[in-house]
Amino acid sequence: MARNSGAGDIHALAGAYALDALDDLERATFARHAAECEVCALEVAELQETVGRMAQSNWSVPPPRLRAAVLAEAARTRQVGNRRSDDGPGTGAAARWRRRTAMAVAAGILAAGGGVATWALTQQQVRDEHARVVAEQERSRRISEVLSAPDARLTRQGNVTVVMSASRDTGVVVLDDLSDPGPTQAYELWAGRGGQMSKVGLLGPGERAGTVLVTDMAGADTLGVSKEPAGGSQRPTEGSIVALVTLA
């Protein structure tokens, strides 16, 4: 899933847009761009979800030294995304947008909640969130590659849909509205080869739906879904299989 090209490094506006830190012209410009750029739209949604989650948390008031550390970390943290090779690290609109985004993040970190909830973001949490967004974007890219592959084959059975690409040895499994497994159990995915099952994916405890990227599918003739103890099992528990899809 590629970003659409635009003037300058418009992708770097995602963080500032999510935090409502743009002027009217920049907001309108980025909104038009995000309407055509799925990656930027996803990034904005992820950042807004993160900010909302943090604002609802009961975090402690940061000491002055932590405030300084957060500001320094925000200044060092680049926006996730592609930067054109001719954009210098500290000049032009791209650098200004990145600085604005960093300061907007720091301001939100240190002042969110309007006195109702005060919270601080440590350096490690900044790095963890950055890594999570990067991983999600990579996952989205790989899912898009499978769905658009010339040899992609779709198979649907009940609440389970599988799209397989043999050339990429990868599949996308969509689980929808399965029965509630309860908080102590989770749905696990299995690749079947001649009756032998190997685990290829796992939902979180209690989750009834999800999209799972599965790899190492070469030679698989079935895709199984079982209900297992939270954390998964080494092999399907006897009588636990709830769906078995014959792959096209």
Q: What are the tens digits of pLDDT across the range 139-180?
A: 888 988 988 889 999 999 999 999 999 999 999 999 998 999
DSSP 166-177: GGGTEEEEEE-S
Q: 108: helix, coil or strand?
A: helix
**Architecture of the domain defined by 153-246:** Sandwich (2.60)
Confirm if 186 and 231 have CB atoms less than 8 A apart. yes
Q: What are the tens digits of pLDDT across the range 29-87?
A: 888 888 988 888 887 887 777 656 555 554 444 445 544 544 454 445 444 444 444 44
Write down the pTM of the prediction. Answer: 0.52
Q: For the chain, what are the domain ranges?
A: 10-147, 153-246
**What is d(CA 175, CA 161) in angstroms, rounded to the nearest whole number?**
7
Which residues lie across from 199 on neighbouring strands? 190
